[in-house]
Structure 1
Amino acid sequence: MFRRLAIPLLLATAVLVASLGLTRLRFDTDILSMLPGELPEVKGLKAFHEAFSRNDELILVIGGQEGDAGTLGEAAESLGQALASANLVKSARWKPRWNDDPQGIAELLAYLWLNGDAAAVRNQAERFSPERSEKTLQDSLAKVATSMEGLDMVMVAHDPFGFLDHPAVATLMNSSGHGGEAFESEDGRTQLLFVDSPTPLPGYREADAWIRKLRSTISTWQKTDGAGLTVRLTGEPAFSSEIGTAMENDLSGSIGVTLGLIGLLFWWMQRRFSLLLGLTGILIMVFAMALGIAGWIYGELSIMALSSIEILIGLAVDYGLVICQEAKVAGHDKHELRSAATKPVLFGALTTTVVFLALNLGGLPGMAQLGSIVGIGLTVAAVLMLVVYLPFVAKFGVNRQPARGSGRILPRSRRSWTITGILLAGAAAVLSIHGLPGAEFSSKIMRPRDSEAMETFEHVQRAFPAYSGKSLGVVIEAKTDAAMGQRLEEARTRLGKAEADGLVEKTTLPVGWWPAHDQQTVNRPVLAALAKDQERLVREADAAGFSEEGIALGRGVLEAVSRQTESTALVFPSSPAAREVMRLFLTRKENGGGHILGSILPAADIDPAGKDYEKFRTLAGDGIWLSGWDLFKPAISKLVREDMTRMLVPMFILLVGMMILIFRRIADVGLALFAMLVSTALLLAVMSLTGLKWNFVNLMATPLLLGTGIDYAIHVTLSLRRTGGDFKELWQGTGKALLFCGASNVIGFGSLVFSSSDALVSLGTVAVIGILLSMGTSIFLLPGWRDTNGSDGTP
C-alpha cells in the first residue's frame, strides 16, 4: 500500500514546493542584470544606474518643425499642466527648478562656500571687508558694462558679491554647457519634459499602466495645444515597460506556439491522443517544477533566463519520444520498455544537464540562470518520464510493431564516408574563401528590438551634445562621507597622472560638492563673520548702483550662510532646487556615503575601447569606476575568451570521461567526437557563408551544441549496440525518435528567433543551425561509420 502511494505523495510534495517557489518569482527588466557583475566596466554602469537613474521619472521628448523652433518650451508647459490636471504626474519640469526657487539656489551657493577651499573663503571675506568692499562692488558694476551680452552679463548683473565665482560653480557650468538650461536643443526643435510618477513604480506592469494613461492624455493634448507636434517617451519607466511587456508577449506567444508545433509533430509520429495528453501533463509539471526551484534559488529572473522555458520544452519532450518509439519495439511489456529506454534517457539527460550547468562557469548571470533552469528541468524531466510516463506508455501505447523497410535511408559505410568527405571538403573550401565567422562584441546586442525608448534616447543624444560626446563617466562610490573624501582624492591622483601621461585631455570632478566636515569647521567662523555684515554689504551694493533684483541673490546667499553657520553639525542642502542641481554630480544617503559622478575626455588619438583599453582599465578599481558603453566591447570580448576556455575545457574532459564510462569502447568515443568535429566544421562554414557573426551570447551556444551533439551520438551508438547494428531497427526506433527530438529542439531554440531581444535571436539562430547539423551527422552518417559490413547493415 505504501509503495503504491509513495510516488503520488512524492509528486504532490514536489509540486507543492515548486508552487511556493513560483510565488517568489519576479522578472528583472534591467539589461545590466544580464551582464557579468564582476567586470569593472559593468560595475561602473551599474553604479551610475543605481545612483543617477530615477525609476519613477519619465522623459517626454517634444519635437516640432522648423517653424516651431523656440516655442516648444511653452508647449512643454502646456503638456505638463495637462498631465498634472489629470493627476497623472507628481511633478513636471520643462525648465530648471532654480528659476522658480531662488532660495534653493542661494542655499546651494552658501553650502558650496561653507564646504569649499579655505583659502578661497578667506579671500572672499577679505574682498568684502569694511576696508575693501566698496571698491570690490564698484569693480563688479564695471564688469556689467564691459561683459558681452548673454549669460556672462546676466550672471555679473545678478551677482555683485561674486558668489557665483566659486570654483564649484565652474564645474556646474562646464557640465551642463549652459548653466543647466539643457531642456531645449540648440536648434529649438526638441524640448524635454521630465515627469515623475504620482506613485512608486515597483515593476514593469505598474510602469506600463502609467504610460498607457499618459499616452491617452498626450493624444488628447496633441489635438489642441500640441497640434502638429510629436511626443516620444524614454527613461527608466519606458524601458522597463517595453522590456517587461515584451517578455510577457514572448512567453505567452512563443510557449503556446512551441507546445502547439511539438504537439502536432508528436501526433504525426504517434497518432495516439492519450500519449500526447500524458506527455503534455508531464511537460507542465517539468515546467512548473523547474521555475519553482528557480524561484527558490534566484527569486528574480532576467529576460535571458526566461528563454529557458522554450528550450526546456524542446529538450524535455525528447525523452518522451524516445520512450514512445522504443515502445513500438517493446510493445506493452513495461520491463522490456524500461530496459530499452532507461539508459538512453538517463545518459542523454546526464550529458545535456552537465552542459547546461556548465554555463554557470561563465561570467554572464543571465546565461547562468538559463543553464541552471534547463539543467534542473532536464533532470526533473528524465525522472518523471521514466517513473510516470513510461508505465503510462506501456499501458496505453501502441502494440509491438516489427521494423519495417530496409533502413536504406541511412547510408552504409562507403557512402557515409564519401558524403562525409564531400561535406568536409565543401566546408574547407568555404572557410578558405570566406574565412572563419567574424565576431562582434557590441553592447547593441543587449538592446530590445524595435524599441521606441531606445530610439528616442538616441534622438536626445543627437539633439543634446551634452548627452553624447566622447567623454567617459567617472563614478566614485563609498559607504561613508570620510571614505568618499579619501576616494575622491585618490581619483584626483589617478586621473591627474593619466593627464600627465597624455591619456586624458580633460578631467571634470565635482571637487567641493561632497560635504566635508573639516572644511566646514574651518570656514564656518569666517563666513559667519561675513554674514553678520549683510546689512552693510546690501546697502553698499545699492549705493553702487545694483538693482534690487540684482542684489536678491547675494542677500539670499548671505541669509543662508547665516543659517548654516549657526550649528556645528554637518551641513548638506535640503531644498528641492539645490538637490536637483547636486544630482548632476552626486547622490548622498541620509546617513552618509553615496556616489559622485565626474567625467574624463580622452586625448586625441587615444582609443579607450581599442588599443588603449588596458591603460584606461588601470584607472578603475576600489570604488572608482569608469562608466561608458564603449568600454563594454573590449571588456566583454576578453571575458568571453576566458569563459570559453573555462567552460569548454572541463566540459570536454567531463563529457569524454562520461562517454568512456557509457561506451567502454575507445572506437565509439572516437566516432562520437568525430561526429562533433564534422558538425562543428559545417556550422562554421554555414555561418561564414551566410554572414552570421559570433557575439558574447551566441558563443554560449557552442557548449550547448557540444552537449546535444554528443547526446545524439550516445542514442545512436547505444541503439546500434543493442540491436547488433541493425539499421532497420535503428531507423524504426531511435532514428525516427531522434528526428523528432531534433525537430522539437529546433522548435524550442527556433522560438527565440521571434524574441524581442537581439541577444536571444542570435542565440536561437546559431543553435538551430547547429542542432540540425549535429542531428543529421549523428543519424545519417555516424551509423555508416560504424558499419563494418557495408552492405545491408546486419551484424
Structure 2
Amino acid sequence: MRISDFIARTITQRRALIWCGVAVLTVACVAILVRSLRLDSEVFNVLPGRFSSVQGLRIYDRDFEQTRELTFALLCNANDVDKLEEFAPVFAERLRQQPWCARVLAGSPMATPEGIRDLQAIAVPLLLNLEPHAFDETMSILQPEKIRDRLQRLRQQIEAGSPRPEFELSFDPLGLIAPALKPFAESTVIEQEQPLTSPDRTMRIFLVVTNQKTVSAFECQRLMRRVNEFRAIAAEGWDPESHSGLQILVTGRPAFVSEISLSMRYDVVATLLGSVVLVGIIFFAGFRRWLPLVGMAFCLLLSCLVALTAGQLLFGRLSMISVGFCAILVGLGVDFAILTIGRYHQARADGEPHQQAIATSVAKLGRAIFFGALTTAVGFLALVLSGAMSFSQLGVLIAIGIFVAGLFMCSILFLFVRERHGAVQHDWLFDVVRNYVRWTVCHWLFAGSPTPLRSQRTFTGTKEHPGKSRSRRNHAKNASALGASAGNRSRAESAGVARLLAKNLGALEAAPLSGQNQKLLYARSALSVPKLDGSKSTAFERDQFASGARNAGANGGSGRIQPRLVRTGIHVAR
C-alpha cells in the first residue's frame, strides 16, 4: 500500500484516532512549555558571543551594575517647589513600606544610620581605588604617632565644646573614611544644599533597591505591575486643586526589561495573528470554504507550538527574537495548504471520491512539498553560522516548523474537509485564467489578420447552432469552448461546429490576408464541408479535403485546427 493511500485511509476511517493523537500532542507541548519555557530578553545576548567586547559588556552588566535598582523621580512646576519639599519625606516613607522595597536612598547617606553603616562598609574598597600617592598618604595615618596626635586634637576640640569631634569619632575613629570619600566629594557640588535634587528644586530623586529574586523578564514584569500599582496611589496628599499636577517617574533595569519584553511579546502576537488573518483571507478568496480555512489555521498554530517546544528542549532558553519565527512559518506553511486543497478539489472535479481524492493530492504533491520544505529549511539553517544565538535559534525553529507544517498539511488538514463537499462549481479565478489563455492562443494562431480577431471566439463551441446563416458578429456572441469533451456534445452539435468553422474559413478567405493565411487558404475550395446528418458518423474522409487544402495545412496552420475537430467529436479519417 502506498503511503498516500495509507494516509487517506487513516484520515477517512480513523478520524477519532487522529483527533486523539492531535489532542495528546497539544497537551504534551503545552505542559512542557508551561513548566520549562524561559524567554531571554537580554539585549547583549542578541550580539555574537565570540567577541571579547561583547563578553566584557555582559560581565559589566551582570557584576558591576545594580540590576535590582529603580530610580523614582518627583517632578512638579516651579510654583510648587515648597510643596514638593514637604511631600518628599512622605513619599520616601511610603516607598520604605512597600513589600518589594529593600532600601531607599532619598538624600545624603549621612542622614540615616543605615547610610552611615554602608559608608563604613565600603571604606576599604574605596581606599583601594585611590591614586598611589593618595593611598600612601592615607596609610600613613595608621602609624601610632599620628593616631595619638589625632586623638589628642579631637579631645581638645571636645573640651572646647565643639560637637563635630564627637561625631567624627563615632563615624570615622581611624580617619580612613574621609580620605576614601574625598574623590566623590570633589565631583559633587559643594554649594548644593540638598543632594538628589535638581538645581531649580522642581525634581527630587529617590534610589530604591528592590528585593526581586531574579532578573528575568517575567520577574521584572511582575515587579513593574506592583510598582505601577504603587504609583497610582503614591500621590495621595498632593492636592491637585491648589497645586499643579505631580508626575511620578520611574526608570531602571527592571523597568527597561519589562517594557522591552512586553513590547516584543506584543510584536510576536500581533505579527502572528496578522499573518494568520491575511493568509486566511487569501485562502478563503481562492476556495470559499470556512472549514478548510479553520483547519489551515489550526495546522499552522499547531506547527508553531511543536516547533517552539522542540526549540525549548534543544536550547533550554529561547530568545524573544527567535520566537518571532511564528509569523515567518505561517507565511511559508500556507503554501502547502493551498497546494494540497487545490489538488484535492481538482481530483474531486475529475470525479474521484473523497478518499481517493485525498490519496491523489498526497501522492501528486507529497514529493514537491517535501523538497520544498527541505530547501527552505536548509536556507534558514544557514543562520546557525551567524554566531548570534538568537538568529541561530530562529533558523532552527523555522527549519523544524516547516517540516512539521508540511506533514500536517498532508494529513491533519484533511480532517477539516467534509466528504459531502464537492468541487467548486464556479471558480472565478479559473475562469479568468482560462479566458486569458484562450485569448492568447487564438491571438497567436491568427496573428496579422483583422477579420479573425473580430470573430476569434467563433472557434469556441456553442450549445445551439441554428442552421441559417449568421453574421460574424453573431458567431462570436453564440460561441463557447471548442475543446469540450465529446461526451458533453451531440453529433448534431458537432456538425454545427463544423459548419461554423467552414463559414469562418470562408471569412478568412474573403478578408485581406497576410502571407501566412494566404498559404493556409490559397484555394477557394480549401475546406469542403458536406451536409452532415447528426444520426450518422461525423468522420470526414481525407478525400473530402481538397489537395490544395491539405498541402496548405501542411505548410500553414491547419495542423493546429485538426486536433480541435477531434476533441469536438469530428474525426478526420486517415
Do the two structures share a fold, i.e. TM-score over 0.5? yes
Report the equivalent of 1:372.
396
Cα distance between partner residues in 2 of 1:174 and 1:319: 70
- Give the AA of the match of 1:44: G
Alpha-carbon deviations, 1:686-707, whole Å to 9, x = none?
xxxxxxxxxxxxxxxxxxxxxx
CA shift in 2, pair 1:406/1:84, >3 Å: same
Q: Quote the offset at 1:12 in angstroms.
A: 6.0
Report the equivalent of 2:446.
none
CA shift in 2, pair 1:90/1:372, >3 Å: same
Alpha-carbon deviations, 1:602-656, whole Å to 9, x = none?
xxxxxxxxxxxxxxxxxxxxxxxxxxxxxxxxxxxxxxxxxxxxxxxxxxxxxxx
Cα distance between partner residues in 2 of 1:38 and 1:410: 61
Report the equivalent of 2:479.
none
Q: Quote the offset at 1:53 in angstroms.
A: 3.7
- Give the AA of the match of 1:350: L
Partner-residue secondary structure (3-state), 1:91? strand
Report the equivalent of 1:344.
368
Q: Quote the offset at 1:381 in angstroms.
A: 0.4
Cα distance between partner residues in 2 of 1:77 and 1:349: 64
**1:78 and 2:95 are equivalent in the alignment:** no
- Give the AA of the match of 2:277: G
CA shift in 2, pair 1:110/1:318, >3 Å: closer
CA shift in 2, pair 1:120/1:390, >3 Å: same
CA shift in 2, pair 1:398/1:243, >3 Å: farther
Cα distance between partner residues in 2 of 1:369 and 1:176: 47
**1:206 and 2:222 are equivalent in the alignment:** yes
Cα distance between partner residues in 1 of 2:439 and 2:329: 32
CA shift in 2, pair 1:36/1:188, >3 Å: farther
Partner-residue secondary structure (3-state), 1:267? helix
Task: Please point out which of 39, 46, 58 is paired with 1:46.
Answer: 58
Cα distance between partner residues in 2 of 1:346 and 1:274: 25
Are the aligned partners of 2:374 and 2:403 in contact in 1 as well (CA < 8 Å)?
yes
Partner-residue secondary structure (3-state), 2:394? helix
Are the aligned partners of 1:272 and 1:397 in contact in 2 as well (CA < 8 Å)?
no
Q: Quote the offset at 1:50 in angstroms.
A: 1.1
Task: Please point out which of 76, 81, 84 is paired with 1:64.
Answer: 76
Task: Please point out which of 341, 347, 355 is paired with 2:379.
Answer: 355
Partner-residue secondary structure (3-state), 1:310? helix
Are the aligned partners of 1:334 and 1:394 in contact in 2 as well (CA < 8 Å)?
no
Report the equivalent of 1:188.
201
Report the equivalent of 1:381.
405
CA shift in 2, pair 1:126/1:64, >3 Å: same
Report the equivalent of 1:216.
232
- Give the AA of the match of 1:369: Q
Partner-residue secondary structure (3-state), 2:101? coil
- Give the AA of the match of 1:94: A
Alpha-carbon deviations, 1:285-332, whole Å to 9, x = none?
212211111221234333312222222222212210111222343334
Report the equivalent of 2:32.
21
**1:34 and 2:58 are equivalent in the alignment:** no
Partner-residue secondary structure (3-state), 2:236? helix
Cα distance between partner residues in 2 of 1:236 and 1:306: 22
Cα distance between partner residues in 2 of 1:171 and 1:370: 48
**1:320 and 2:344 are equivalent in the alignment:** no
Report the equivalent of 1:291.
308
Report the equivalent of 1:250.
267
Cα distance between partner residues in 2 of 1:223 and 1:128: 61
Are the aligned partners of 2:77 and 2:244 in contact in 1 as well (CA < 8 Å)?
no
Report the equivalent of 1:492.
none
Are the aligned partners of 1:327 and 1:398 in contact in 2 as well (CA < 8 Å)?
no
Structure 2's unaligned 5+ residue stretches are: 1-5, 159-166, 442-559, 564-574
CA shift in 2, pair 1:351/1:255, >3 Å: same
Are the aligned partners of 1:126 and 1:132 in contact in 2 as well (CA < 8 Å)?
no
**Alignment size in residue pairs:** 401
Percent identical among aligned pairs is 23
Structure-2-length-normalised TM-score: 0.58
Report the equivalent of 1:571.
none
Aligned residue runs from structure 1 range 572-721, under 5 A: none
Are the aligned partners of 1:326 and 1:337 in contact in 2 as well (CA < 8 Å)?
yes
CA shift in 2, pair 1:391/1:170, >3 Å: same
Cα distance between partner residues in 2 of 1:191 and 1:411: 79
CA shift in 2, pair 1:325/1:58, >3 Å: same
Q: Quote the offset at 1:259 in angstroms.
A: 2.4
Alpha-carbon deviations, 1:402-451, whole Å to 9, x = none?
954447489999xxxxxxxxxxxxxxxxxxxxxxxxxxxxxxxxxxxxxx
Cα distance between partner residues in 2 of 1:411 and 1:204: 65
Partner-residue secondary structure (3-state), 1:307? helix
Are the aligned partners of 1:19 and 1:289 in contact in 2 as well (CA < 8 Å)?
no
Cα distance between partner residues in 1 of 2:128 and 2:294: 76
Are the aligned partners of 1:255 and 1:310 in contact in 2 as well (CA < 8 Å)?
yes
Q: Quote the offset at 1:68 in angstroms.
A: 5.2
Aligned residue runs from structure 1 range 81-230, under 5 A: 81-85=93-97, 89-101=101-113, 102-109=116-123, 119-120=136-137, 123-126=140-143, 128-129=145-146, 163-164=176-177, 166=179, 168-173=180-185, 183-197=196-210, 200=213, 203-223=219-239, 227-230=244-247
- Give the AA of the match of 1:185: S
Q: Quote the offset at 1:22 in angstroms.
A: 1.5
Are the aligned partners of 2:142 and 2:174 in contact in 1 as well (CA < 8 Å)?
no
Are the aligned partners of 2:373 and 2:406 in contact in 1 as well (CA < 8 Å)?
yes
Q: Quote the offset at 1:276 in angstroms.
A: 1.5
CA shift in 2, pair 1:312/1:196, >3 Å: same
**1:329 and 2:337 are equivalent in the alignment:** no
- Give the AA of the match of 2:246: L
CA shift in 2, pair 1:388/1:188, >3 Å: same
Are the aligned partners of 2:265 and 2:320 in contact in 1 as well (CA < 8 Å)?
no
Q: Quote the offset at 1:11 in angstroms.
A: 5.2
Partner-residue secondary structure (3-state), 2:73? strand
- Give the AA of the match of 2:57: L
Cα distance between partner residues in 2 of 1:411 and 1:365: 54
Cα distance between partner residues in 2 of 1:122 and 1:252: 61
Structure 1's unaligned 5+ residue stretches are: 142-153, 414-791
Report the equivalent of 1:303.
320
Partner-residue secondary structure (3-state), 1:232? strand
Alpha-carbon deviations, 1:230-286, whole Å to 9, x = none?
221111221232123334433444433432333232212111122123223312321
Q: Quote the offset at 1:124 in angstroms.
A: 1.8
Range that drifts further, 10-19 or 292-301: 10-19
Aligned residue runs from structure 1 range 438-477, under 5 A: none
Cα distance between partner residues in 1 of 2:174 and 2:313: 62
Q: Quote the offset at 1:373 in angstroms.
A: 1.7
Partner-residue secondary structure (3-state), 2:234? helix
Aligned residue runs from structure 1 range 722-733, under 5 A: none
Alpha-carbon deviations, 1:12-45, whole Å to 9, x = none?
6644543343121123333233222333332233
**1:273 and 2:290 are equivalent in the alignment:** yes
Cα distance between partner residues in 2 of 1:68 and 1:222: 11
Give the aligned CA root-mean-square deviation in angstroms.
4.6
Structure-1-length-normalised TM-score: 0.43
Bigger Rg, which one: 2
- Give the AA of the match of 2:29: A
Q: Quote the offset at 1:219 in angstroms.
A: 4.3
Cα distance between partner residues in 1 of 2:281 and 2:224: 35
